[in-house]
Amino acid sequence: MTELTGGTSTGITRTSRRLADGREIIYFDDTPQAPPRTAVDTRDLPEQAPRSEVRRDPLTGEWVAMAAHRQTRTYKPPADLCPLCPSTEGRPTEVPESSYDVVVFENRFPSFAQDVPEIPATVAGMPMVARAAGRGRCEVVCFTSEHTKSFGQLTPSRVRTVVDAWADRTEALSALPGVEQVFPFENRGEEIGVTLSHPHGQIYGYPFVTPKTERMLAVAEQYQRMNGRAVLGDVLAAERAAGTRVIETSEHWTAFVPSAARWPVEVHVVPHRQVPDLPALSEAERDDFAQLYLRVLGRLDALYDRPLPYIAAWHQAPVRTGRDLSWLHLEVFSVLRTADKLKYLAGSESGMAVWINDVTPEQIAERLRAVG
């Protein structure tokens, strides 16, 4: 059991334990006098045996993950069988304790893991297709023990605890062998593809730098070379000066609809200071984010007068490359283009990666400001 210090808020206790199959579980407690985390996982779980691998597409150069063992993962259980709720007598779950504040544990069905077997360097008969073990780590982050809550219903202090947990895990996963990029994210809503309705997110430790990040770094490097400044810094300054697409602002953060938004609802939340990742945020920046982000989520849920399905994706610097070019930011987007219509990724988007939006960024920003 340790007390979080440094860039984290005071009063958070971090406790690391093990589940029945050896996976790590970490409790982040912000409740004063929270009980010691000593509960034992009593389940009879099979030994973990992930077989993840990655293969490089010879036509695009992008890595694709293969994780066939995930086919048997839990799929839309009823609320009384939720594996992310606290354990109760006679019903053990992934969290052995009877309550928790924020908890993180290794995914039982990971896309990437540390203990994966070595495999041949190429696909049999295909020397142009590189192949490697899917060595990384995947974690689940439960934001609250209350099954019916959402992230937007958390208190600012609890959001701050989540931010500290994200930062803690970013540092831990970045130190693991084979991990090249750490990606915290939240999927919310069945329309997004969520199979567990308990409020939670995930953290991926990838064994490669993701294609989107590679592209963003290439653009950032070219812009820096030509202009001597960070591209996102200039975008942020221009958005704040124009104000047309800004929906929330504070001392340390600005939230705006990007001028070339792909999704029918899309918001970027950007710190005013260039930092590479979540661990680099100051205490003041973390506190400020908690307040502003809750206001952003409130606007998103008010947009169609219903809980908005969304993906919230943190863009962080890779572990070993492009750290001086990266500018941490959160991208929140939704597939919902009206209250009852979805944006499908059809021929142009899925086939050619050419996005066609049904609404202008200025229109959606105006609507989000109006529902504040």
Alpha helices in the chain (DSSP H): 156-174, 211-227, 231-242, 283-303, 352, 361-370
Q: Does 268 belong to an annotated binding site?
A: no
Tell me if domain 2-200 and domain 212-370 are identical in fold. Answer: yes
Three-class secondary structure of residue 144 per DSSP: coil
Which is higher by pLDDT, 38 or 76? 38
- Strand-pair category, 13-18 with 126-133: unpaired
Instruction: Please identify which of the residues 69, 200, 268, 315 carries the catalytic annotation.
Output: 200
309 in Cβ contact with 297 (< 8 Å): no
Q: How confident is the model at residue 5 (pLDDT cuts 50, 70, 90)?
A: very low
Q: Is the pLDDT of residue 45 over 60?
A: yes
Digit-coded pLDDT (tens) for 304-327 = 999 999 999 999 999 999 999 999
SS3 at position 145: coil
Contact between 182 and 170 (Cβ < 8 Å): yes
Q: Into which CATH architecture does domain 2-200 fall?
A: 2-Layer Sandwich (3.30)
Burial class for 194, CB neighbours closer than 10 Å (0-12, 13-18, 19+): middle
Q: Is 198 marked within a binding site?
A: yes
Q: Enumerate the domain spans of the chain.
A: 2-200, 212-370
The torsion of the CA quartet 364, 365, 371, 372, rounded to 10 degrees, works out to 160
Tell how strand 253-256 and strand 2-3 pair up. unpaired
110 near 52, Cβ under 8 Å?
yes
Q: Could you read off the pLDDT of 330-365 as tens digits, one per residue?
A: 999 999 999 999 999 889 999 999 999 999 999 999
Residue with structure tokens 């899925």?
350
Structure tokens at 99: 């309550």
Backbone angles phi, psi at 17, to 5 degrees: -135, -175
Which residues share a beta bridge with 202?
140, 185
What does the alpha-carbon distance between residue 112 and residue 275 come to, in Å, rounded to a whole number?
27
Which pTM value belongs to this model? 0.95
CATH of the domain spanning 212-370: 3.30.428.10
Beta bridge partners of 256: 246, 268
Average pLDDT over residues 281-295: 98
pLDDT per residue as tens digits for the range 119-135: 999 999 999 999 999 99
69 is catalytic: no
188 forms beta bridges with: 310
